[in-house]
Structure 1
Amino acid sequence: MANILVVDDEMGIRELLSEILGDEGHVVTAAENAQQAREFRQSGVPDLVLLDIWMPDTDGVTLLKEWQRDGLLTMPVIMMSGHATIDTAVEATRIGALNFLEKPIALQKLLKAVQQGLSQASKTARAPTLYTQPAAAANELVDTVINAAAFSNSIQSEPAHIAVQPSAASSSENVFSSSFGLPLREARDAFERSYFEYHLIRENGSMTRVAEKTGLERTHLYRKLKQLGVDPGKLSKKGG
């Protein structure tokens, strides 16, 4: 477990990164601007910082320069941006940034960069731990439509796993038997709701593992669950 500081002025990005990294077992502190990041850094040294470049008060490169100037750049920093030029990325790396991630950030690229950053952090002495704030669920992100064939394929390839979760399996059977008389749209929603509930219960509410099992990007998965009215928190308790 590592202490990670996420600095980004976009609430959706902060919440999404907090949820992903929290699922990986890390403790995440979120700052919405450079001033909050300064305050968090004064209270302790995180194991890793994910720092947005474009922010309204002080941009990430300027904050990086401040930390370097004041001798506070003692932790790995990964820069993030959806609009940065190559020159900006090179400048940040020259100042001391470990890596650069372009938005929208792919899940595997994020996890790989974080792992590399934490490997770098483990080589240095660790200072007092940051105080934290709870991670929130991401919302209002990218829309998506799931292909119903994915559920059929998972049933065919994992029959043994379905038997392990009798409550989820019986629930699915009830949905199948009761949805044929519904209009197509409503039947499809019931079908998809049962599909996601099954995976959430089986994976104890881990959004990272459910995303891998269902073949969806996490942003798509969050949007779909909200659309269907599925609460991952409640289902994780059932799975436990």
Structure 2
Amino acid sequence: MHNKYAYDLTQVRNMLNGHDDLVGYCTAIDRLGFALSTLTELQDATLTLDAIAEIHTDPEALQIVSAALMTHAIIAYCRATHSGGRGRKKVGATKKYTPDQEKKHKDIAELRNEVIAHYGSPTQGHGLKWLDERIVVKVVDDAEVFSFSRNRANYLAAAIADLRELLAAATATVEEVIEERAEFLNALNLKHISDDRVVEALSASPFDPYAFYGVGQLADAFWDVTPMKRSETLRNGDW
């Protein structure tokens, strides 16, 4: 017989928030969550590049969805490694990049900022090759017509190659951060295990994968204890 149980540490952290002497414990939960969330987005980007590779021999599929997949890969990578915000603090995913990788990272970030997310003026790297737009006047016999001609990339092989290299390096770094932060949180769990407030919060915060994911294979697979295992459900339509 297997003894299986799980606790929702996000709920535990919310319940304990406000206790000054437990700030360090709550912060440790947050910091581990930031790293796990970052890893998930790096995995998002990697899986999206895998999807482009899978449809590479299908010209129709490439034409229809490759641009959307490439956009998603770039956005997910930059959200994990470049973008800042109040919702999640950076975990240093790029801190072990070589100088060459730092340059590639800047190229991908500019591609996101100046081409993918905004209409800008790229000055380097992939952005210069991504989009070429021309205002054209056509004169045919007595007809004069202004038109707009655009040559846009759905994806660039060079950009994919750079992303693959950067994702491998960033993922390895974030996995190390997760191990360090998990070890630190485990030590705090042992320190506070006799604290009635912590015990009460844990008791009030069971995590039921079937309630969270719904009945099915994903919930069944939740109890796999493989380190860094991805665990999520993707919804279509309304909540």
For the aligned pair, the TM-score class normalised by the smaller chain equals under 0.3
Name which one, 1 or 2, has greater alpha-carbon Rg.
2
Larger RCO of the pair (alpha carbons < 8 Å, separation 6+): 2
**TM-score, L = length of structure 2:** 0.24
